[in-house]
Chains A and B, each alone.
Chain A
Amino acid sequence: MKVLVPIKRVIDYNVKVRVKADHSGVDLANVKMAMNPFCEIAVEEAVRLKEKGVVSEIVAVSIGPKAAQEQLRTAMALGADRSILVETDEDVQPLGIAKALKAIVDEEKPELVILGKQAIDDDNNQTGQMLAALTGMPQGTFASEVNVEEGKVKVTREIDGGLQTVELKLPAVVTTDLRLNEPRYASLPNIMKAKKKPMDVKSPADLGVDMTPRVTIEKVETPAERKAGVMVGSVDELVDKLKNEAKVI
């Protein structure tokens, strides 16, 4: 079966972000970018399913600037067979992305779409659920285990009180949680091979979708700084401070 893996180019998770002085956003100039960590897990899961013989083809998709080609090449170096870039310099938001992905799903007809549960930049946690709604597919969000069986997929989900297992009819959408797997690194020979793998570049107009942002960002601020704390010398002093100064115990 065919698997579609949407991925996102985001700021590297180790970078300490800086808010722009004019409060229009976060400074992304000359900052290291990378594939969103949850997307790496999605690619890894697709590749593992292919290695098990469950999956025959993996298609990676990204919607964003031209530079997202780098992340698609990474996905192909990790094992995706080909990729599609929907190139746009607009501000893309989950609903618009889900609509673009739906158009690609209609064309490619994958049996499984695996996405990360959230992107670490906008922290939205929406795209997979929205895609599932638009395509009428069931969803297995925050997956920590995925088992594909005949015509269906069993997904163990991380929920607030523990774990929940659901069974979904294929085709289905799965979003990955951190514990699903440990992504591999791309080897140099595979990075070289990935350069020859096909990448289709499309525009939102090709897909016939309206990706107009519905939400406008009025202002981006730095969160309130915490007041500098004090170092205490002993457990006695700590207990005393908590009881008499902070009055929290």
Chain B
Amino acid sequence: MSVLVYAEHDNAALNKATLSVIAAAKEIGGDITVLVAGKGCGAVAEEAAKAEGVAKVLCADNDAYEHQLAENIGELVAEVAADYSHVLAAATTTGKNFAPRAAALLDVAQISEISDVVDADTFKRPIYAGNAIATVKCADAKKVITVRPTSFDPVAAEGGSASVESLDVVKDSGLSSFVGEELAKSDRPELASAEIVISGGRGMGNGDNFEILYKVADKLGAAVGASRAAVDAGFVPNDMQVGQTGKIVAPNLYVAVGISGAIQHLAGMKDSKVIVAINKDEEAPIFQVADYGLVADLFEAVPELDSKL
């Protein structure tokens, strides 16, 4: 067995999700190779080489890979995959974008968002918005898999000493091009990897009121999330959305403020270690999953919480 792990990065630094994918690769077994594709991504390759358990790093540095366009990355991965029994990527928007494309080019199934490795052919994954867990077995010779990062404890970022080889395969389909991007700026930790997450829902009333959550978040070193209702109402940008159609988080502490707890939202946070709900409606479904529930007006409870931390 030999596992190829696709590195998630922004051409400057390795995304922590990759360390969780390497952890999943270790459970499968065999040699682990990390593929870093990007533009000017040498530092990322060096960083990946230091991760625990990595045997080799392949670095494909080319203009064609700068923005991780699925057309180019899909072809690159499908070609590099020839030497590997498993291809793993994080179940992020990047991984979800190119992995199925690479799998189809290889004429194999793709297994999405695994949460557990049973053996080299068998995996567990949530279905129906996390309301059921399926154990699936793949008959294909090559397995293309996306890994839910929050389900695997990341390997150590230091301590490894893999060799870095540059890869001269250039795949440029010419079918797509990058126009621009608009990234939400934030000094707070990234939502998907934060230890503590505080989320607001429709109960926040408007975007300005999120300020009270930001204050608490800054004291706790937490990331701030939101329910779909809060995003759809325009309170906050959509990359803050936690849920089946947003981000899946599993922090140590998740504080849901003014969130009723729809199935769709729970799918994104119910694996959190400790869940706190603050809601004025004592019937809200969120209280059924909360470890600690407080029935209170959030506009009184949150500032009070802020003052007592």
The segment from A52-60, A61-69, A76-84, A93-101 found at the interface with B is A93-101
Q: Is the interface of B mostly helix, strand, loop or mixed?
A: mixed
**With A142-B93, A160-B247, A166-B178 as contacts: A19 and B132 at CB distance below 8 Å:** yes
A150 to chain B, nearest CB (A): 15
Are A121 and B253 in touch, CB under 8 angstroms? no
CA distance A128 to B98 in the complex (A): 11
Are A158 and B104 in touch, CB under 8 angstroms? no
Say which size band chain A's interface belongs to. 35 or more
B220 at the interface (CB under 8 A from A): yes
B128: chain A residues at CB < 8 Å are 11, 17, 26, 120-121, 123
CA distance A11 to B111 in the complex (A): 21
A17: chain B residues at CB < 8 Å are 128, 131-132
A136: chain B residues at CB < 8 Å are 175
- B104-129 contacts to A, CB under 8 A, are 104-105, 107-113, 122, 126-129
Counted as pairs of residues, one from A and one from B, with CB atoms less than 8 Å apart, the total is 253
Q: Count B interface residues, CB 8 Å.
A: 88
B105: chain A residues at CB < 8 Å are 133
- B170-214 contacts to A, CB under 8 A, are 173-184, 192, 196
Are B295 and A125 in touch, CB under 8 angstroms? no
A88: chain B residues at CB < 8 Å are none
CA distance A118 to B179 in the complex (A): 25
- B231-246 contacts to A, CB under 8 A, are 231-232, 237-239, 244-245
CA distance A112 to B308 in the complex (A): 56
**With A125-B96, A161-B183, A226-B270 as contacts: A132 and B276 at CB distance below 8 Å:** no
CA distance A172 to B196 in the complex (A): 40
Are A238 and B294 in touch, CB under 8 angstroms? yes
Are A214 and B179 in touch, CB under 8 angstroms? no
CA distance A160 to B182 in the complex (A): 11
A188 at the interface (CB under 8 A from B): no
CA distance A103 to B274 in the complex (A): 49
B12 to chain A, nearest CB (A): 13
* Of B102, B130, B287, B309, the contact of A229 (CB 8 Å cutoff): B287
A94: chain B residues at CB < 8 Å are 100, 109-110
* Of A16, A127, A229, the contact of B275 (CB 8 Å cutoff): A229
The segment from A42-50, A189-197, A199-207, A239-247 found at the interface with B is A239-247
Can you add 11 more A-B contacts, CB < 8 Å, to A230-B293, A235-B301? A17-B128, A98-B104, A121-B128, A133-B103, A165-B181, A169-B175, A220-B127, A232-B292, A239-B305, A239-B308, A242-B276
Identify the B interface with A (CB < 8 A): 67, 69-71, 74, 92-94, 96-105, 107-113, 122, 126-140, 173-184, 192, 196, 220, 228, 231-232, 237-239, 244-245, 247, 252-253, 263-264, 270, 273-276, 287, 289-296, 301, 304-305, 308-309
